[in-house]
Amino acid sequence: MAEPINAAPWPPAAPVPAAQATAPLHSPRDPQTEALARLVADACDDRKAVDIRLIRMDEVSSLADWFVICSGLSDVQVRAIARSVEDRLEEVHGRLPLRREGQAEGRWVLLDYGEVIVHVLTPAERSYYDLESFWGHGEQVPFVGSAADLNA
């Protein structure tokens, strides 16, 4: 008489604790991540970016913890703002973007640092894509740059 075949794998796989199975890639509300987003915004401000917005994304999307969105008034300025961000993060944290898109065209440059995604757009592109409305359910955090400092 044949023995029954056991379909269970051997050795049995160890169960993954529930806390580990659902752990996010980045810890939410991480002050270091917010500081990184503010450093990005400051680098944008150094190249006179317009209407700099920080959007907290950690509770509404798994794409990133923060979006930094700003405008440059020409394709040359858009590229200069993006380069300023890259230079600052490399200088201060030794980090390069994981992905970089749109620098050749200069109408919308995207820099992906993992926990922070930077969008630098011309006003026409920004108006057309309206990222702030699309991601409007994320908390918008004010950024006060040098223009406000000059008016004070």
Helix or strand (DSSP H, E) at 118: strand 116-121
Residue 133's pLDDT band (boundaries 50, 70, 90)? confident
**Residue 36 to residue 111: CA distance in whole angstroms:** 13
Q: What is the mean pLDDT of residues 102-125?
A: 96
Average pLDDT, stretch 47-51? Answer: 96
Distances (CA, A) of 94 to 86, 89, 101, 103: 10, 6, 20, 21
Residue 19's pLDDT band, with cuts at 50, 70 and 90, is very low
More confident residue, 7 or 121: 121
- Tell me the per-residue pLDDT of 86-111, one tens digit each, with 9 for 90 and over: 999 999 999 999 999 999 999 999 99
**Range ranked top by mean pLDDT from 56-70, 81-95, 133-147:** 81-95
